[in-house]
Amino acid sequence: MPWGGILNIGEKIKRLRTLNNLTQDELANRCDLTKGFISQIERNLTSPSIATLIDILEALGTNINNFFNEEIEEKIVFSKNDIYDRDYEDFGYSISWLIPNAQKNSMEPILITLKPKSKTKADEPHEGEEFGYVLKGRLNLIIGNQTYKVRSGESFYFKSNKTHYLENPYNKPVSVLWVSTPPSF
C-alpha cells in the first residue's frame, strides 16, 4: 500500500514545498529527481523510498522525525505569486484563482474580470451557495429567468440551484470577487 493511503504524505510534502516558496522543478533539482516524480508524490500517485523521502525532507529543511511527528503549518497568507490566471478569450473574461488548490476547501474565492459586452459561461444548477462583490464597474447577474443589476460596491448572495452567469452589457470592464461553496470553478 502506498504511504499516501496511510498518511497524506504527498499533501504534507506539497505544503512544505509551498511554505519554502519552491516550485516542483526547484525541489526536484535539489533532490536529483524529476518534476514529474515530485508531482506524482504530491498527488499520492506514488510513494518515495525511505532514502528518497529523506532527501526530499532535507531539501525542505526538515527531517523524517519532525515530518511524521509535527503538524505542518497551513499556509494562511497568499501573495500574487500564488494566483493562477486563465483567460477565456472566446467569452471575453478571465478568472484568477486567488487561493491555490481551493477546490479542496469548503469555499473557493476567485476574481472574475469581464471585458465590455461579454458574459461568463452559464453555470448549471448545483449544490451550494454563491457570493459576489463588484469591485469595479457594473453588471447583470442572471439567475434562472431573473436579471439583477449589480454596481461597484454592491454584493450578491444566492443558492446555486438555478442556472446562473454574469453579463457585462456595458462599455467598461468589470471586476468581481466571487466566492462559491462548495468550489465549482
pLDDT (mean) for 7-20: 86
The answer to whether residues 108 and 153 belong to one domain is yes
Q: What amino acid is encoded at 68 in this protein? A: F
- Residue 20 in any domain: the answer is yes
- Mean of the per-residue pLDDT values of the chain: 89
The answer to whether residues 65 and 85 belong to one domain is no
63-122 pLDDT, tens digit each? 888 888 766 566 788 888 888 888 999 999 999 989 877 666 788 899 999 999 999 999
Domain that holds residue 30: 3-69
- Residue 12 in any domain: the answer is yes
The answer to whether residues 172 and 139 belong to one domain is yes
Last residue of a domain, one of 28, 44, 69: 69
108-138 pLDDT, tens digit each? 899 999 999 999 999 999 999 999 999 999 9
DSSP 182: S
Q: What amino acid is encoded at 82 in this protein? A: D
The answer to whether residues 103 and 171 belong to one domain is yes
Instruction: Assign 80 to helix, strand or coil.
Output: helix
The answer to whether residues 103 and 25 belong to one domain is no
Total domains, the chain: 2
CA neighbor of 136 nearest in space, from 121, 115, 120: 115
What confidence score (pLDDT) does residue 162 get?
96
pTM attached to this predicted model: 0.61
Last residue of a domain, one of 15, 45, 69: 69
- Residue 95 in any domain: the answer is yes
The answer to whether residues 136 and 85 belong to one domain is yes
The answer to whether residues 118 and 45 belong to one domain is no
C-alpha distances (whole Å) from 61 to each of 6, 54, 64, 118, 127 are: 23, 11, 10, 48, 41
CATH number assigned to the domain comprising residue 45 = 1.10.260.40
The answer to whether residues 113 and 64 belong to one domain is no
The answer to whether residues 52 and 103 belong to one domain is no
- Residue 89 in any domain: the answer is yes
- Residue 28 in any domain: the answer is yes
Q: How far apart are CA 113 and CA 143, in angstroms?
A: 19
